[in-house]
Amino acid sequence: MLHCGRFTLPLDRPLIMGVVNVTPDSFSDGGQFYSIERAIEHARQLIREGADLLDIGGESTRPGAQAVGIDEELQRILPVLEGLSDCGVPLSVDTQKPDVMRAAIRAGADMINDVNALRAEGALRAVADSAVAVCLMHMLGEPRTMQQNPVYQDVTAEVGAFLEERIAATEQAGIARKRIVADPGFGFGKTLEQNLAMLKHLDSFIALGVPLLAGLSRKSILGSLTGLPVEERMVASVAAAVISAMKGARILRVHDVKETRQALQIVSAVEGMR
């Protein structure tokens, strides 16, 4: 079971975390209001399609992305959290900033998804002073530069050691283990080969003793392997989710909820056999 704010989530089958991006729409003149309404509508659609939880992000962490200020990030996230407060599934907020974490928790977030694994000054305390769950993700470097020649001796061992250290620091800050999720961070400072090695050996992270989250949905790794642009990566994304689930991931962070759900029903049926 994962203790996740207002919710306690069973982990006997893989859960689907639907991605909700709140980013300004440069092609419309409707401004912020339009992108917020659109994010809420998209979130409700993902719930209808079977999302078990939602991950709301107001800051792009894609490779090469520029940082967003605290006020801008809050203006994107808070109205979406408020608009979804009655939606019936846990709400995760994808942020690295302690001030955003505190405001999001006050506005009803059930989970903080931090690609920086609570390493920012004040981040451990922001989460400790609450009942929310936290996802600790591995990233080498920072989004702006992380894909510039990442080097590891043994990527799986090094990512595992990092996550073990962050889990220990998180527990020491007073955040119970039943609130912690770990994620190796596919695409965050890893080459194609390093990402594939981590996926192949994803089961080795089970020894961390906390539920594993995996996010490969639509990522450039899948583009490299298939030669397909981001809008045509659904099938590859579902395949990656199936592999992740079969290697022990308990939460799959995905854009294509309906298709992933169908595929995971087959995984659950097989894994349920003796």
Residues designated catalytic: 219, 253
Indicate the pairing of strand 7-9 with strand 15-21: unpaired
The 10-39 contact track toward ligand 7PJ, x by CB under 6 A, reads ------------------------------
Lookup result for tokens 């080498």: 140
Given 62, 119, 144, 200, the residue binding ligand 7PJ (CB under 6 A): 62
**Would you put residue 137 in left (φ > 0), alpha (ψ -120 to 50) or beta?**
beta
CB 146 within 8 A of CB 140: yes
**Residue type (1 letter), 81:** L
Contact between 146 and ligand 7PJ by CB under 6 A: the answer reads no
Contact between 244 and ligand 7PJ by CB under 6 A: the answer reads no
| CB-nearest residue to ligand 7PJ | 215
Angstrom distance (rounded) from CA 190 to CA 188 = 6
Gyration radius from the chain CA atoms: 17
Q: Which stretch binds ligand 7PJ (CB under 6 A): 76-84, 155-163, 180-188, 192-200?
A: 180-188
Contact between 94 and ligand 7PJ by CB under 6 A: the answer reads yes
Angstrom distance (rounded) from CA 28 to CA 12 = 43
Contact between 155 and ligand 7PJ by CB under 6 A: the answer reads no
**Using CB under 6 A as the criterion, which residues of the chain lie in contact with ligand 7PJ when the complex forms?**
61-62, 94, 113, 115, 135, 137, 183, 185-186, 213, 215, 219, 253
